[in-house]
Chain A
Amino acid sequence: MLSADIEYYRPETIQEAVDLFQILKGENKRPIYYSGGTEILTLGRLELAAAGAFIDIKAIKECLSFGFNQSYLIAGAALSLTSIEEKNLFPLLSATSMGIADHTARNKITLGGNLCGKIFYREAVLPFLLCDSWVVAAGGNGVKPIPIGQIFNQTFQLEEGQFIVQLLTERNYIHLPFVSIKRRQQWETGYPLITVASIKADNGLRFAFSGLCPFPFRSKEMEAELNNIGLPVPERVKRALAQIPGPVLHDVEGSSEYRLFVLENTLNEIILELEGE
């Protein structure tokens, strides 16, 4: 429960939501967009998030769409993770999603909520990074698709008042061979020690990571090393480890040394599996 009073709005159109944000901001009500809300409520309980008004995007139909058009798979930001898993239109996304929190929580956690979370794992972004997806963002300057590579750098670089409506992923990526592995401190519960997702694209394997650094990422530099087929796999992996784009996490889930050990094993395993196909 939140100690602070908030206002709650549930707009039905994108425009309404965007307008509301501007109005509430003008009234100094500290609005935020609210999707699944699980993180907003849990962090809010610990006084870690301060907002005065929630704009719930779950009644906006674009945010709930999930299906293919001519060229793309469209995934709405307000879809619950379990609904994505059940329809399973995007197997890599389903696989990565199933590692997040637990089943009941994922009935509430939404795609957009996970992507924009403050808790830095944001594992649902990995498939989209791998597939060079497009992010449809809505804000004061209208609704526009943006390549994920342009708008995502550790976090989504949204403008104030902007929110993610959908993600678009080219159809030809959807059925590529993939692997998604989540390793935890122990057994099958909890945050990742590391999560690695990988696909086998025409021009080689692609890799994206969560839990390795305090942000999820895809690294072209690491991919270059990992795809250096002139070298034996363990050597490629070793070289890739030297290209990690930030400090390796060292926390209660595990030391940075151990994370690297696990990462090395996991990468070896993934390459053997995907290159073997």
Chain B
Amino acid sequence: MYIIGKGITRKDSLEKVTGHAKYTADFETNDMLHARLVISPFGHALIKQLDLTEAQNIPGVRAIVTGDDLPLTGEEMRDRPPIAVNRVRFNGEVVAIVVADNPYLAMRGVEAIKVQYEQLPVVNSPSEALKPDAPLLHPHLDQYEKIQGVYPEPGTNIATRTKIRKGDRNKGWTESEVQVEEKFAFRISDHAAMETRCSLAQIHPNGMIEITSSSQAPFMIKKLIGQYFGIKPGSIKANTPFVGGAYGGKASIQLEILAYLATRAVGGRLVKIMNTREEDMLTSPVHIGLEAQVKLGCTKDGMLKVAEILYLWDGGAYSDKSIDLSRAGAVDCTGPYRIDHIWCDSLCMYTNHPYAAPFRGFSHSEVHFAFERTMDVLAKKLKIDPLELRYKNAILPGHTTPTQFRLNSSTVGNLPKCIEKLKELMNWQEGQVVKHGRDKVRAKGVACAWKTSTIDPDASSGVILTFNPDGSINLISGVIEIGTATKTILAQILAEKLKMDINDIYVQMDVDTVNTPEHWKTVASRGTLMAGRAVLAAADDVISQLKNLASFILRAPIGDLEVGYGKVYLKGEPNKQIPIKDIAYGYKFPNGNSIGGQIMGRGHYMMPGITNLDKETGAGKPGPEWTVGAQGVEIELDTKEYRYKILKAVTVVDIGKVINEKTATGQVKGAMSMGLSFAARETFYFDSHGTILNPQLRTYRPIRFGEHPKYEVAFVETPHIEAPYGLRGAGEHGLIGMPAALGNSLSAALSAEINYLPLIPELLWKIKGGG
């Protein structure tokens, strides 16, 4: 390989270490207006009175937008007013937008608006939401517009139900000699990207609506705002500069709608709306919560036979992406094992909580926490080593997934190999629990993980390549640089293909939906597969155009030509060549005659064969391939006080092919860090009014420097045939098994079943009988 696999430094390096990289909020002009939000302090209430008078009289307040006469919004089902009307359904819901000359006047406007609420009974968890007498969040659930594949149950708080019916559960139970059943729960939490969401919007005199936003999905901004407000898609332009962390949270279209409403209210003037940290946590969508019941059956020697599962997702007050999240949780409702009989109901529940956005792993770390914890409970009951149980049941080519898709050696990675490697790296033969002095134990926990990406069957990615006069190339892709270095990797893929110096490839970091070809959304670890394939297609397009022209000039058949190292040359006679720079803008003969012209490459990719799921059984092919991995955590626990340190965290993932060793390792470790932080500390605390008590980074605490363990990452490479150089998605997989592995290590250390998150010492103390 020429450049694939190498730790090439990131293309955005210098911009980022000098502070010159521009994020949405960094754009500011003198004539810009600023918007701020009035938000609900309660989880569920009627708005009895909204008094704007005082705010309207503040000089410099230009407009106040309320929720009257706005269309309902929502990605799969339109159940959400962009601004609340008469009723608020979660703490943080927008009640009004104030637009003013500067941020502090907008704040004054917000402070001057007086809202009278009458509190309503609060639905504070998905299981409460399921109760027959629970308050109904959406009495008109039957009337909402929705897309195919959404199955709301009017008269309840169920926004949708996804069913997985594989095999015959009764048969599975008959064949089972040992069974376990466990329950799990954790509340919603947050992405806590360091950049709070920010959007700018203006309406140009020709009617063009221009929205700049910290988003993972500028093309969805264009599409959804167009649909919601009946605007022609060509009249909306969305821009995305650098994005300061997203992790799924910026794939939802939310703040952009408010920015549009704000500019519309001030005659199209440019308006900036930037979330405070509190609004970013409360008002913008969050990380979904879950309650789960998992029942597993197996033979005496540990061969899994049946899984019966109920997932109740805390989708929050509106369904937006939580419908899809609950569906993705059903698709991979078990861990990566062969199980012939699976029965799963995955319910997206309405609650009086902030609603959900995708979160790195898209429901998989959540589902895996429940499932992989249950696997350990089963191993304990069977008195089988937990890794051995996983190894025995590992999913292999030839097996089928819960959605009954039959896997082959391309569509699933090599899990047994990952487990073997993990065993080594964890020093597993040392024993799972080792005493360390009087009150200390060291314990290890493991989990396996898998994930496919449930993306729209017609999601596509496009790439354009243009040349500079020196033969260097501009690479233009709709992938957003959210931190994953995908654009650096695309440049590597192109450099490999054209055997060229990566420094001669210029990637356009910003995305603008007018001049950049669409990339569906920068989500689901699919950037490298989809945009990578589009790059290869665009490169092929360039190669063919170069060869055509060179064939004429070199007087050689096209079939004998090769492109690479900055030139087109004869395979058999490499000295016979012409530099690309001499033909990329057409070829000029000595007498001035010129032929050819600018060469522009175009390429696109759409994943073939993706299907919707069958309503009754869930059968279908939801994604392109399943990345698998095995993960472990080692902790040291004080058995007297229940405090613990995470010593080490390990991930072995079958990444298909490592394109950039440094950025791949960075992605996996970063995901592990986020998974441990989520598992060990992150959650929102609610009071009985549904009010969140910790919407700040001071009280909602992501892991910090010095709290981190030692990380180890190893890769297995089993190629995914469709993907460039065989790579597999890996931006999320480091996260998926972390909560379960940490839970398993603590459960082993304490000989107790720890089935809740976050795994704080107080929880351990309670489970061990404290309090």
Contacts and interface: CB of A to CB of B under 8 A. Distances in A.
Touching chains A and B, CB distance < 8 Å = yes
Interface of A: 1-4, 46-47, 183, 185-191, 251-252, 254-255, 257-258, 261-262, 265
Given A1-B104, A190-B698, A258 B707 contact: no
B104 A190 contact: no
Contact of A255 (B111, B698, B762): B762
A88 to B, nearest CB: 21
B104 A186 contact: no
A188 B694 contact: no
Given A186-B680, A186-B681, A261-B771, 17 more contacts: A1-B107, A3-B104, A3-B105, A3-B107, A47-B111, A185-B681, A186-B701, A186-B758, A187-B680, A189-B704, A190-B701, A252-B693, A258-B766, A261-B770, A262-B641, A265-B640, A265-B641
A186 B761 contact: yes
A178 to B, nearest CB: 21
Contacts of A252: 685, 693-694, 699
B441 interface: no
A188 B760 CA distance: 12
A255 B771 contact: yes
Contacts of A185: 681, 760-762
Interface of B: 103-105, 107-108, 111, 278, 640-641, 643, 645, 680-681, 685, 693-694, 698-699, 701, 703-704, 706-707, 758, 760-762, 765-766, 770-771
A255 B765 CA distance: 11
8 contacts: A46-B278, A186-B761, A188-B707, A252-B685, A254-B762, A255-B762, A261-B770, A265-B641
Contacts of B693: 251-252
A3 B111 contact: yes
A186 B685 CA distance: 15
A195 to B, nearest CB: 15
Contact of A190 (B643, B685, B699): B699
A252 B696 CA distance: 13
Contacts of B103: 1
A97 to B, nearest CB: 18
Contacts of A191: 698-699
B771 A188 contact: no
Contacts of B278: 46
A253 to B, nearest CB: 8
Contacts of B108: 3-4
A122 to B, nearest CB: 16
Contacts of A2: 104
B701 A257 contact: no
- Interface of B: prevailing SS: loop
Given A254-B762, A255-B762, A258-B762, A189 B701 contact: yes
A258 B761 CA distance: 9
B468 to A, nearest CB: 43
B637 to A, nearest CB: 13
Contacts of A47: 111
Contacts of B681: 185-187
A185 B771 CA distance: 15
Contacts of B111: 3, 47
A4 B108 CA distance: 8
A212 to B, nearest CB: 15
B351 to A, nearest CB: 19
**Which 3 pairs of residues, A with B, have the shortest CB-CB distance?**
A3-B107, A257-B771, A252-B685
A189 B698 CA distance: 9
Contacts of B641: 262, 265
Nearest to B640: A265
Nearest to A269: B641
A7 to B, nearest CB: 15
B577 to A, nearest CB: 58
A189 B707 contact: yes
Contacts of B645: 187
A135 B701 CA distance: 35
Contacts of B107: 1, 3
Given A185-B760, A191-B699, A252-B685, A261 B765 contact: yes
A118 to B, nearest CB: 14
B635 to A, nearest CB: 12
Nearest to A190: B701
Question: Which of A187, A189, A257 has most chain B Cβ within 10 Å?
Answer: A187
Nearest to B278: A46
Contacts of A188: 704, 706-707
A187 B771 contact: no
A3 B107 CA distance: 6
A252 B694 CA distance: 8
A47 B694 CA distance: 17
Contacts of A183: 643
Nearest to B276: A45
A32 to B, nearest CB: 19
B664 to A, nearest CB: 28
Contacts of B758: 186
A86 to B, nearest CB: 19
B186 to A, nearest CB: 15
Contacts of B105: 3
B761 to A, nearest CB: 7
A188 B645 CA distance: 10
Contact of B770 (A4, A189, A258): A258
A271 to B, nearest CB: 15
B706 A257 contact: no
Nearest to B680: A186
B760 A186 contact: yes
Contacts of A3: 104-105, 107-108, 111
Contacts of B699: 190-191, 252
Contacts of A46: 278
A2 B108 CA distance: 9
Given A2-B104, A47-B111, A252-B694, A187 B707 contact: yes
A35 to B, nearest CB: 20
A188 B646 CA distance: 13
Contacts of A255: 762, 771
Nearest to B760: A186
A11 B640 CA distance: 53
Nearest to A188: B707
A191 B701 CA distance: 10
Contacts of A190: 698-699, 701
A261 B765 CA distance: 9
A3 B98 CA distance: 14
B384 to A, nearest CB: 32
Nearest to A187: B707
Contacts of A258: 762, 765-766, 770-771
A125 to B, nearest CB: 20
A186 B760 CA distance: 6
Contacts of A265: 640-641
Contacts of B704: 188-189
B615 to A, nearest CB: 42
A106 to B, nearest CB: 14
B770 A257 contact: yes
B705 to A, nearest CB: 10
Nearest to B107: A3
A254 B761 CA distance: 10
Nearest to B702: A189
Question: Which of B105, B761, B765 has most chain A Cβ within 10 Å?
Answer: B761
B533 to A, nearest CB: 42
Contacts of B761: 185-186
Contacts of B707: 187-189
Nearest to B109: A3
Nearest to A2: B104
B692 to A, nearest CB: 10
A252 B698 CA distance: 12
Contacts of B640: 265
B559 to A, nearest CB: 64
Nearest to A42: B698
Contacts of B643: 183
Nearest to B681: A186
Contacts of B765: 258, 261
